[in-house]
A and B are shown apart, each in its own frame.
Chain A
Amino acid sequence: MLMDLTQKLPKTILLDHGSGGLASQELISNLFIRHLDNKILSAMEDSAVIDNQPGRIAFTTDSYVVDPIFFPGGDIGTLAVHGTINDLAMRGARPIGLSLGLILEEGLPLDDLERIILSIRDATLASGVPILTGDTKVVPRGKADKIFINTSGIGLVAEDVNITSLNARAGDKIILSGSMGDHGITIMTRRAGIALDGNLRSDSMALHTLVQKLLTGLPAGTVHTLRDPTRGGVATTLCEIANSCGLHIEIEEDRIPVRAEVRAACEILGLDPLYLANEGKCLAMVAPEYADQALALFHSCPEGAEAAIIGTLSSGSNDIKTSLSGASRRVTLKTTIGGTRVITPLHGAPLPRIC
Chain B
Amino acid sequence: MKYVDEFRDPVLTGHLLRELAATTAAIARPLRIMEVCGTHTMAIFRSGLRALLPPEIELISGPGCPICVTSAGHIDTFLHMADLPGTRLAVFGDLFRVPGSNGRTLADARARGAKIDVVYSPTDALELARQNPDELMIFPGIGFETTTPAIAATILTASHQNIDNFVVFSTHKTMLPPLMALLGDPSLGLDGLLCPGHVSTIIGASAYLPLTGANHLACVVSGFEPTDILQALILMARQIKENRAEVENAYTRAVNWEGNARAKAMVDTIFEPADMEWRGLGVIPGSGLAIKERFARFDAQPRLSLVVPNTKEPAGCLCGQILKGITTPPHCPLFGRRCTPAGPIGPCMVSSEGTCSAWFAYGNESRGTQDS
Contact = CB atoms under 8 A, between A and B. Distances in A.
Interface of A: 192-194, 260, 263-264, 267, 269-270, 272, 321, 323-327, 329, 333-342, 344, 347-348, 351-355
Given A323-B360, A339-B51, 10 more contacts: A192-B119, A267-B4, A324-B336, A338-B10, A339-B52, A351-B97, A351-B352, A352-B94, A354-B147, A355-B37
A340 B14 CA distance: 14
Contacts of B269: none
Given A194-B120, A264-B1, A338 B360 contact: no
A355 B1 contact: no
B22 to A, nearest CB: 18
Contacts of A339: 47-52, 368, 370
Contacts of B48: 333-335, 337-341
Contacts of B96: 351
Contact of B363 (A193, A269, A270, A342): A342
Contacts of B372: 334, 338
B54 interface: no
Contact-residue bracket for chain B? 35 or more
Given A337-B226, A338-B372, A354 B8 contact: no
Contacts of A334: 48, 372
Contacts of B118: 351
B325 interface: no
Nearest to B91: A354
Nearest to B359: A324
Given A348-B342, A354-B93, A355-B147, A192 B365 contact: no
A341 B353 CA distance: 16
Contacts of B320: none
Contacts, number: 130
A352 B120 CA distance: 7
Contact of A260 (B1, B119, B198): B1
B124 interface: yes
Given A324-B335, A353-B352, A355-B144, A337 B370 contact: yes
Of B1, B48, B51, B226, the most chain A CB neighbours within 10 A belong to: B48
A49 B127 CA distance: 53
A189 B241 CA distance: 47
B242 interface: no
A194 B37 CA distance: 26
Given A334-B48, A337-B47, A339-B370, A325 B120 contact: no
A337 B13 CA distance: 6
Of A192, A269, A341, the most chain B CB neighbours within 10 A belong to: A341
B146 interface: yes
Contact of A355 (B14, B49, B120, B146): B146
B92 interface: yes
A235 to B, nearest CB: 10
Contacts of A194: 120
Interface stretch (B38-46, B184-192, B209-217, B299-307): B38-46
A349 to B, nearest CB: 8
Given A338-B48, A340-B48, A269 B120 contact: yes
A325 B52 CA distance: 22
Contacts of B142: 354
A193 B124 contact: yes
Give 6 nearest A-B pairs by CB, closest first. A339-B48, A325-B336, A351-B93, A335-B48, A338-B370, A347-B341
30 contacts: A194-B120, A260-B1, A263-B1, A267-B4, A323-B363, A324-B329, A324-B330, A324-B336, A325-B340, A326-B337, A337-B47, A337-B226, A338-B371, A338-B372, A339-B47, A339-B48, A339-B50, A339-B51, A339-B370, A341-B45, A341-B46, A344-B361, A351-B93, A351-B118, A351-B352, A352-B93, A352-B120, A353-B352, A354-B147, A355-B37
B335 A354 contact: no
Contacts of B330: 324
A264 B3 CA distance: 10
A113 to B, nearest CB: 26
Given A338-B52, A341-B362, A351 B94 contact: yes
Of A263, A323, A353, the most chain B CB neighbours within 10 A belong to: A353
Contacts of B46: 272, 335, 341
B143 A354 contact: yes
B225 to A, nearest CB: 9
Contacts of A267: 1, 4
Contacts of B92: 352, 354
B66 interface: yes
B364 interface: yes
Interface string B319-346: 0000000000110000111001110000
Contacts of B67: 354
B336 to A, nearest CB: 3
B86 to A, nearest CB: 19
Nearest to A253: B48
Contacts of B198: 355
Nearest to A193: B124
Contacts of B352: 270, 351, 353
Contacts of B13: 337-338
Given A263-B1, A352-B93, A336 B363 contact: no
Contacts of B97: 348, 351
A353 B364 contact: no
B47 A335 contact: yes
B143 A355 contact: yes
Contact of A326 (B1, B47, B336): B336
Contacts of B337: 325-326
B105 to A, nearest CB: 11
Contacts of A263: 1, 4
A77 B368 CA distance: 49
